[in-house]
Structure 1
């Protein structure tokens, strides 16, 4: 009996999948066809495609064009198009204006975006906010650029905060994002290519590069990776990043995400490739190295001594974030002889009544710090900082008084946690925070030897990483000719070369010899 039920369910499921595949195939075949010259056929066809009258934001208006007394209808999505301008610039002109030539270009106030006769192309434009005009007896459709999608204005970046420099950041409006880049790079060689990267949602991706700088092999590699995508919908750049990166399970990122147009423009001027999408308040920069992920956008706005001081401080903070907890754990567990006697007595006295071993103590406080950090980010902004400060004070003080942890652990964890905030890139920040736990576990089981072994293995792993063929630690290792902007940077006058690992068409920056 059970076997018969399972068999029926399987047959029913197979039948549904077959019908769905047949329906998808029919839709694809339909979109390849041309529109009819008979107006009523086009009207019924597009009503069927957009499921009218159930689809309430899709508008169709039938009218008679005064010039030539021809029947016609316009179609648009009201939530994505400028309805008032459609009425004033297209509909009113078609009804009222007489033109001897009868050309739509001469009648409508709106310029014709383009003409098309393919059903799929017309549907794709309608879905982007374009208005379509169909005329009786005309085998082509007239498309008007009437897109008006509301979104945020141009604001400052919440994640890449700087003291000195430009404050503009990308928003969800693609046209504004492209304008911000073109405002900084006034060059006819700046190319913006468009590609459809999903089958069902028809998400558009824009590839931006400098034609006279970009390496053609790198550009072809990026395009092949994008063309190989097989997904129904990729709505955001953060999701696209996971599709195109070489090692999506790696702790360390290999693609740079930034919300700042000045940073994107700087990389474009070096020969990199930038990816943009509608509804994504940022861009992806390809390829990316460890140094590009580690640097801050503010480094180049500050004078060289100040910028290098911040970079050195950032390197020190990275090592503090990675190794403070693990070295404390290794010293108090395995290498007591390395600790000065006075400090050892102070540590032993503070841990006298603590019931847990040092490993459990450190892990508990690290997890508590991460919980407080995430809680402060997720709650509404007015009370976020309050939760972080109050939570840390109350939790730390109560834990010490209850003899669950020792006071010195509060100092170690606070120093380690605060140091991790100095890395501005979100992905690199996550990588450092997660790697810190690996070092703590290795120190808890093998002491300094465990830390050293993990560090060596980690360096081997990082050296093996590549971003679209570019080694992760380039141009330091392997060595390439460049401006040597790695750990420290030189004065701008000395930065004569573009990164050698990009192999751009013009390696030398323009300037005096």
Structure 2
């Protein structure tokens, strides 16, 4: 067994020594004597008793350590002048309860607790002759300010988004839901990273089986590090073979709050602004918070356009390939002549033409994401125009194919969920190949296969295709057409919430 493994095992159950210098040497050896591990020895009681402050300079707030700890210890009152005559337990209790002007001060004796506290940015105080150490909250991690999420911008809605600090994200949730039944369950994941993960839900609304299943899956995570919530998503999802996301990720606190009030749960991980909502359904991938911020007619129209966009993004190139290659008789007479004239001189069949254009578009989209932001936008727009125009002029593709690919790309951008958009882009190539082999029959077969997969898929025990299949007619008020909010008095029936009512009739309070 290696020395590091031996130290890890010993530190998990070992207790600190009464010798302050021995404790300082041990924690330095345990952490590899890093240069950012600072030690400040302070004498109390006229120099007859001393204590040591140990902290990591890059993670701890030095201003708090100087003003709220060292200065307070140096003028510790009776725990200074009378410290030599007092019992060591009285001194450490007095320092904790009367001297420290810091909100978080706890006693600890195990090295596992002490080392983790130092690695989190807290300050540890070793008192000469004491059996316990004081862990003082001095974390000072740099974080972004709360700002609008760039990936989920809205025309109308709150301008706030999650940050990488999980405590800030918890506060954003609490600020919008001031309910005593709001629960936050904390986990520590990552054998090496030891990151904080929060599972949140509203007790009394969510079905208990969802909470139990979420807790079971989270407790099964055994990994060195989870740098992003995507690792957690992939670990606890139902089917890793499905192209569809079974957890919905978002940077918007209002979206998480709305999901909690529907009877769902959310997962927030330290170090990432993306929270995970569970369980999720196919319908949730197409909905946006803005559907509810606008009046019901506007919200319904926008949502209906998204359903049309999903169909176009998935089947439009395939339908073009099937009609041009197999079912020319189904094309109107004048349109058929226009397509034939546009395709004159093109050396490739329609399926190769479509694959070339779609593949080029995917490359441009990926290049635009990886390049610096000002250049990426230029590459995406100018590159598409230049390559499309050049391909038409060279006779490699037809103008009608450029139109089909452009309309398909625009439709895919209208899908709110980025992961769902990628899934539809992947399936688009499958439907194109099916259309190239069997024509419209191949498209119908692909639609049936996708539908069967969606019906069989589950998210934390919830049918992914709800409320389409199984059918919940009451939930259709908030499906394709969004009814006025005065009609949305019930929570989703398919969620099987413990409290189904979320509003009373118009003019009455809940």
Q: Distance in 2 between matches of 1:369 and 1:389?
A: 11
Deviations 1:381-428 (A, max 9, x none): 223222222212211111111111111111111111111110011110
Map of 2:353 onto structure 1: 361
Which residue in the other structure is 1:383 paired with? Answer: 375
Give runs of aligned pairs for residues 131-280 of structure 1, distance below 5 A: 131-280=123-272
1:502 Cα offset (Å):
2.5
1:38 aligns with 2:31: no
Residue in 1 aligned with 2:390? 398
Per the alignment, do residues 87 and 220 of structure 1 end up closer, same or farther by CA in structure 2, a change over 3 Å counting?
same
Displacement after TM superposition at 1:31 (Å): 1.6
CA-CA distance at 1:26 after TM superposition: 4.7
SS at match of 2:244: coil
Deviation at 1:249, TM superposition (A): 2.8
* Shift, 1:222, TM fit: 0.7
2:482 is matched with 489
2:84 matched residue in structure 1: none
1:281 to 258, 273, 284: 273
Q: Residue deviations 1:296-334, cap 9 Å, x none? A: 121111110000000111111111111111111001111
* Secondary structure of 2:268's aligned partner: strand
Distance, in Å, in 2 between the alignment partners of 1:146 and 1:476 is 51
Alpha-carbon spacing, 1:124–1:310, altered in 2? closer, same or farther (3 Å): same
**Of 421, 431, 439, which residue of structure 2 is paired with 1:429?**
421
Answer whether contact 2:43 2:50 (CA < 8 A) is retained.
yes
Instruction: Give the aligned partner of residue 87 of structure 2.
Output: none
Q: For 2:489, what is the secondary structure of its paired residue? A: coil
The correspondence for 1:338, drawn from 320, 323, 330, is: 330
Residues 142 and 482 of structure 1: is their aligned pair in 2 closer, same or farther, counting only changes over 3 Å? farther
Q: How does 1:458-497 map to 2 (within 5 A)?
A: 458-480=450-472, 483-484=475-476, 485-497=478-490
- In the TM superposition, residue 447 of structure 1 has moved relative to its aligned partner by 0.6
Moved more, 298-307 or 395-404: 395-404
Q: Residues 26 and 126 (structure 1 numbering): CA distance in 2 closer, same or farther, change over 3 Å?
A: closer
CA distance in 1, matches of 2:362, 2:301: 28
Distance 1:65 1:488, change over 3 A: farther
> In the alignment, is residue 66 of structure 1 matched against residue 58 of structure 2?
no
Structure 2 alignment gaps of length 5 or more? 80-89
Shift of 1:33: 1.7
Contact 2:488 2:503 in 1 (8 A): no
Q: Show CA shifts across 1:109-166 (max 9, x none).
A: 2234321111111111211111111111211111111111012111111111110111
Alignment match, 2:119: 127
Question: Deviation digits for residues 417-448 of structure 1, max 9, x if unmatched?
Answer: 11111001111010111111111011011111
| Alpha-carbon offset, residue 268 of structure 1 | 1.1
Deviation at 1:23, TM superposition (A): 4.5
- Please, which moves more after superposition, 219-228 or 370-379? 370-379
Where does residue 85 of structure 1 map in the other structure? 64
Tell me which residue corresponds to 2:301. 309
Q: Give 1:51's aligned residue.
A: 32
What TM-score does the superposition give when structure 1 sets the normalisation length?
Answer: 0.92
Asked if the contact 2:7/2:30 (under 8 Å) is kept, the reply is: no
Among 480, 483, 504, the residue aligned to 1:511 = 504
Inter-partner Cα distance in structure 1 for 2:475 and 2:440: 37
> Do the aligned residues in 1 keep the contact of 2:490 with 2:503 (CA within 8 Å)?
no
1:76 paired with 2:68, answer no
TM-superposition CA deviations, 1:80-124 (whole Å, max 9, x none) = 110111011101211233235641121122234321111111111
1:460: Cα distance to partner? 0.4
Q: 1:87 to 1:482 in 2, by over 3 A?
A: farther
CA contact (8 A) 1:99 1:107 kept: no
Whole-angstrom CA distance in 2 between matches of 1:333 and 1:69: 94
Match of 2:400 in 1: 408
Contact 2:166 2:270 (8 Å CA) reproduced: yes
Instruction: Please report how far the alpha carbon of residue 256 of structure 1 lies from its aligned counterpart in structure 2 after TM superposition.
Output: 0.5
Q: Does 1:318 align with 2:282?
A: no
Unaligned runs of 5+ in 1: 1-18
Pairs aligned (count)? 492
Pairing 1:372–2:364 present: yes
Q: Distance in 2 between matches of 1:222 and 1:393?
A: 47
SS of match in other structure, 1:475: coil
Instruction: Determine whether 1:498 maps to 2:479.
Output: no
Residues 236 and 280 in structure 1, CA contact (< 8 A), matched pair in contact too: yes
In structure 2, distance between residues paired with 1:344 and 1:209: 56
Determine if contact 1:112/1:142 at 8 Å carries over to the other structure.
no
For the pair 1:98 / 2:77, whether they are aligned, the reply is yes
Task: Give the TM-score, by structure 2 length.
Answer: 0.93
